[in-house]
Structure 1
């Protein structure tokens, strides 16, 4: 598995979904869909996204 870093390519907002998808070796589209669905239905994932944006380092 890859390190958890936010890539420069493939970002839409901050690259958090792309980082998670790269880490687990899956496509970024399902991760983005799950993130949006969790935000719409539960509302908590926006805060998790923001925390991960701060904690996950950007690719150098």
Structure 2
């Protein structure tokens, strides 16, 4: 029988965090979802915006509108899946 944590859904959710945001939290939410640095997502937004003449930047307000905001008590993703290994050498 498996045990599931009732406070954390068993799947990742694409949400805008309330703590780690610059403007609306879209880049931070995408970074958490895909397990990459949110700064990299912000740079990709800027580069694609420059390469497309600003058309790609229309995606940001659309995602801002569509992505739900993370609940205040929700743990941040990516959450640890296992405990950290013990320190080496082990202390007695």
TM-superposed deviation, 1:40? 1.6
Q: After the TM superposition, which parts of structure 1 deviate over 3 Å for at least 4 consecutive aligned residues?
A: none
Structure (1 or 2) with the larger CA radius of gyration: 2
Partner-residue secondary structure (3-state), 1:10: coil
TM-superposed deviation, 1:46? 1.5
When the two structures are superposed, what TM-score results if normalisation uses the length of structure 2?
0.61
Long gaps (5+) in structure 2: 1-10, 72-92
Within the candidate set 33, 37, 40, 2:43 is matched to 33
When the two structures are superposed, what TM-score results if normalisation uses the length of structure 1?
0.90
Q: Which residue of 1 aligns with 2:61?
A: 50
For the aligned residue pairs, the C-alpha RMSD in angstroms reads 1.2
- From the two aligned structures, give the one with the greater helix fraction: 1
Between 8-17 and 35-44, report the one with greater CA deviation.
35-44
Q: Highest relative contact order (Cα 8 Å, sep 6+), 1 or 2?
A: 1
The count of aligned residue pairs is 60
